[in-house]
Amino acid sequence: MLPFYMHQPYRLNMGGHFLANEPWSHMARKMSEYELLIGVSENVYLEVEGEPFEIKPGDVMILKPGQFHQGYKPSLPGVSFYWFHFMQPEADGREPDGMLSLYAECANPNRIHILARQLLHAANGGYSLPNAGDYFLSCLLIELVEQGRNPNSDPKLADLLEWIRLHALEQDLTVERIAAYSGYNKQYLTRIFKRNFGSGLLKYVHSIKLESAKRLLAGSKLYVKEVAMKVGFADEKQFAKWFKLQSGVTPTAYREAFTRTHFNNV
């Protein structure tokens, strides 16, 4: 675990979105700064100080300064991940505000991907304010700290969350269908979901759809109509109206707001 502090923003040195269209393996090296890796597609096979790890889509890994790391087998074509090099603020003897897992599976990877895209936009000149990237990085790390906390240990509810995540982008997903899967009646399920997770069931489904739509708008060249289909809307106009209601901007305006990023393949 890595102590996390909030008295100062973390300092972002650089970041990017790695893409490889052929088999690829990570170079052997040590670094003098922290590196955050966020899996997007395919697996990254990374050996850290002799210990092998698989960074799968949705996984997060933090490498500490001075750790020797290298690829131990090639990743498949299409491998993709976000990467950020950063420095931690001085602790000054204070207690940490939270803890960051050095290697973890994200409970809600879509939220992490959206924040990573916003961070890349800021890091590559998307904002005129100085050091904006430092604050976006700190927001991303806060999200990782929060997702690393697991106050609810009910395995049935955890299974239900995973099932909803897998089916949230389908057009026919309704509260009734979720209730039928869970074995609870609709009214009882709605109450326990609100009590355990702080939001309504339908609102949770919409949040998954919205985050997936944002990720596709910011990270792909799909037409808005195609994005709508992928998140469960057969009608583009209905999707645009829903997206603006949920986010406050149109799909096109959102896409134009987060276009700056740095891509690399080496």
Asked which of 40-44, 82-86, 259-263 is least confident by mean pLDDT, the reply is 259-263
| Residue spans in the chain of domains classed CATH 2.60.120.280 | 2-148
Q: What is the pLDDT of residue 15?
A: 93
pTM of the model: 0.65
pLDDT tens digits for range 153-192: 456 777 888 889 889 999 889 999 999 988 888 888 888 8
| Residue spans in the chain of domains classed CATH 1.10.10.60 | 155-257
Q: What is the pLDDT of residue 261?
A: 62
pLDDT tens digits for range 189-220: 888 887 776 678 888 899 889 988 988 888 88
Pick the CATH number of 2-148 from 2.130.10.10, 2.60.120.280, 1.10.238.10, 1.10.10.10: 2.60.120.280
Q: What is the pLDDT of residue 28?
A: 95
pLDDT tens digits for range 118-138: 999 988 888 888 889 999 999
The domain over range 155-257 is classified in CATH as 1.10.10.60: yes
Long-range CB pairs of 252-257, under 8 A, 24+ apart, other chains included: 252/224, 254/214, 254/217, 254/218, 255/217, 255/218, 257/121
